Amino acid sequence: MAKKKGSLLEEFKKFISRGNVMDMAVGIIIGTAFTAIVSSLVKDILMPFISLIIGGINFTDLKIVITRKTAERAEVAITYGVFIQKVIDFLIIAFVVFMMIRTLNLLQDKLKKQEEQEAAKEKKPAPPNAEILLLTEIRDLLKKQTE
């Protein structure tokens, strides 16, 4: 039984220390922080402008009240404005991520082309020196004279 625990623990250590698990953890942490930044960008910077354009409406205030608040119970409402806000957040986050990935792909393509060009340059033989060119011309002239 102790061997199974030890092997399970060892297996778990290997799993956690693998690069892709650590990369995923870092990605989730950075993604969470990035989401907070973009949400603030939307809420604190973009939405005031959008609200101004659409007549001062704050999306988070939009709701359909089902039952009004009373002394005994809280208001029951469908807060569709909050949903609209979340959709806008999502679209902006998705667009920013798309642009980042697009930029990274363009950079990778550019680096790949540069590597291919460098590899092609290395494969080409060095141009012959002047003496070899002169000897080749002389040989070609002699061939023409003998024909």
The string of pLDDT tens digits covering residues 26-65 is 888 988 888 888 778 877 888 788 878 878 777 788 899 9
DSSP H helices in 18-129 = 19-40, 47-53, 80-123
Write down the pLDDT at residue 59: 78
- Long-range CB contacts for residues 107-112, cutoff 8 Å, separation at least 24: none
- CA separation for the pair 77, 11 (Å, rounded): 50
Confidence (pLDDT) at 142: 87
Residue 92 has a pLDDT of 81
Do 49 and 92 touch, CB atoms closer than 8 A? no
pLDDT tens digits, 76-130: 999 998 898 888 878 887 887 788 889 989 999 999 999 888 887 777 777 788 8
- Annotated domain spans of the chain: 1-56, 58-147
Residue 25 confidence class, pLDDT cut points 50, 70, 90 = confident
Please tell me what DSSP assigns to residue 126.
P
In this prediction, residue 112 carries a pLDDT of 92
How is residue 94 written in tokens? 């998705």
3-state secondary structure of 124: coil
> pLDDT grade, residue 4 (50/70/90)?
low
Is the pLDDT at 5 greater than 70? The verdict is no
Alpha-carbon dihedral sign for residues 22, 28, 31, 37: negative
Residue of 91, 97, 88 whose CA lies nearest to 34:
97
